[in-house]
Amino acid sequence: MDRYRQIHFGFRIPMVTLPIGCLFQLISLASPYWIKIKISSLIQSVDIHLGLWRACFALNNAKPECSSDMSDNPDWFRATQACAILGLIFAVVAMVSLYLKNCSSFQNKALGLLAMVSSFAAVDKTVKAESERLNRMSDTRTIVGSLKSKTDLINSKLKDLDTQVESACQTYSSLSVSVSDIRKRLVNAEKELKTVNKNQKTYSEIVKKVTLRSKKLTKSTKQVKQMMKGADDNCHQLFNFNIRGGVAFLVSKRLQPFVEVLDIPSNRITEIELNIPDTPNIYLISVYLPAVTQSYELFSKEVEILIDVYNIYSTMGTVVLMGDFNCKIEGPRYTLDYDKRSDSFRSFMQECNLRSLHLETNGNGPVCTFQSYQGEPKTAIDHIIVSIENITICSKIQVPDEHMFNTSDHKPIRCSFALSDNTNFVS
């Protein structure tokens, strides 16, 4: 302890700092974390760690792989390595000289001088190595910044490419669906062609059949009486158009003596009373409610008139509603999402216990009766409606499927009514 106190103060600092400097030099020689670089893209990311004597690479955050092969380094890097080695050697020499001087006579000036020179040389080489390293680190950061800018540019191009690939995939998927749909259509067309070939008729046969049908129709129209109203009678600007809407009855002349036309205050509702002796009265109401192209207020007004008419005549006999209601009605064969029109009409049907015949389980043929020429979804807006108590008197309920002579966008509905407990039916 007395010997340590006698050591000159100028030698105490190197004795403490030199071991620390040696330690840091050794760490710098062994560590690969001299420069750290991280490059990432949409495809992969790379972590690069560069040291004086080792280089490590980690791909996509995996375990790093290190290499000690530094043979391809530039001259400045080799100079930095040399300065670091010389700095370490001088530091070790200075440290050894200091301890030898301290362990021998304090008057040994040669060892003291050697220790001082070695210390200054170690500091000089270390400072030069660190200076060169810092300068090159700045240059390296500039290069890394440029590399990152290029990487960002590549990332943006890869994103655009990814967007284009995704768009191409969607297009391919759409084309696949279209091709599949075309194949199905071709298969259906082949089936229809085979059916047509089986039932093929010559032009003359079709003409003969149409002529025969028109003769029968002309003959049958002479045997019926027409009762009709035009829904646009109050809209004179439509009188020059070929297409007009309304309601009508065609009644066989055989039944004409038993039919009476009732007065209804609406151009969209007409009613007849069928009063055959020994049978209950039947009131047939033909309806053409306003289409969706017209206001809901007009539709609601006509529905109110229809409700009043039904409530009056349902106390006097059997009431049958029929026609184009221009609103969807639910039944066991048909479910729907209610809109404002359908919801208001449903309230009327629920209150009076009404049912649409062709939507019941004993109905035959298609459920939807309307298909617009514009190709919109099919809907069930044409109905024959009776109370639930009178469903049993109805039979042969049918919606005929597509027919070559039906040029309307509506399908007809047919059924028969039993006038009494015997087998007499009226269609």
Q: What is the pLDDT of residue 248?
A: 85
Q: What is the pLDDT of residue 308?
A: 92
Mean pLDDT over each residue of the chain, to the nearest integer: 72
**In angstroms, what CA-CA distances link 380 with 72, 329, 365?**
84, 7, 12
Q: What is the pLDDT of residue 306?
A: 92
The answer to whether residue 6 scores a pLDDT higher than 50 is no
Domain range 222-426, CATH architecture:
4-Layer Sandwich (3.60)
Rounded CA-CA distance 232/239 in Å is: 8
The answer to whether residue 403 scores a pLDDT higher than 70 is no
The answer to whether residue 115 scores a pLDDT higher than 70 is no
The answer to whether residue 387 scores a pLDDT higher than 90 is yes
Q: How confident is the model at residue 239 (pLDDT cuts 50, 70, 90)?
A: very low
Q: How confident is the model at residue 226 (pLDDT cuts 50, 70, 90)?
A: low
* Average pLDDT score over residue span 329-345: 86
Q: Name the residue with higher pLDDT: 143 or 153.
A: 153
Instruction: Yes or no: say if 276 and 258 are a contact pair by the CB < 8 Å rule.
Output: yes
* Average pLDDT score over residue span 135-154: 65
The answer to whether residue 285 scores a pLDDT higher than 90 is yes
Q: Name the residue with higher pLDDT: 396 or 135.
A: 396
Order of all β-strands in the sheet with 382-387: 259-262, 269-274, 282-288, 318-324, 382-387, 354-356
Q: What is the pLDDT of residue 299?
A: 92
Tokens describing residue 156: 């943006």
Residue 334 is classified by DSSP as B
| Sequence ranges of the domains in the chain | 2-168, 222-426
Order of all β-strands in the sheet with 65-67: 35-40, 45-50, 55-59, 65-67
* Residue corresponding to tokens 């979804």: 377
Beta-carbon count within 10 A of 193 CB: 10
Main-chain dihedrals φ then ψ at residue 39, nearest 5 degrees: -120, 125
Mapping DSSP to helix (H, G, I), strand (E, B) and coil, where does residue 203 land? Answer: helix
Q: Would you give the end-to-end CA distance of the chain in angstroms?
A: 133
Query: Please, what CATH class does the domain formed by 2-168 belong to?
Result: mainly alpha
Tokens describing residue 268: 């969209």
The answer to whether residue 241 scores a pLDDT higher than 50 is no
Q: Name the residue with higher pLDDT: 385 or 97.
A: 385
* Average pLDDT score over residue span 354-369: 88
The answer to whether residue 380 scores a pLDDT higher than 50 is yes
The answer to whether residue 205 scores a pLDDT higher than 70 is no
Q: How confident is the model at residue 278 (pLDDT cuts 50, 70, 90)?
A: confident
The answer to whether residue 412 scores a pLDDT higher than 60 is yes
Fold match between domain 2-168 and domain 222-426: no
Rounded CA-CA distance 89/84 in Å is: 9
Closest CA to 124 of 269, 267, 231, 21: 21
Give 370's strand partners: 379, 410
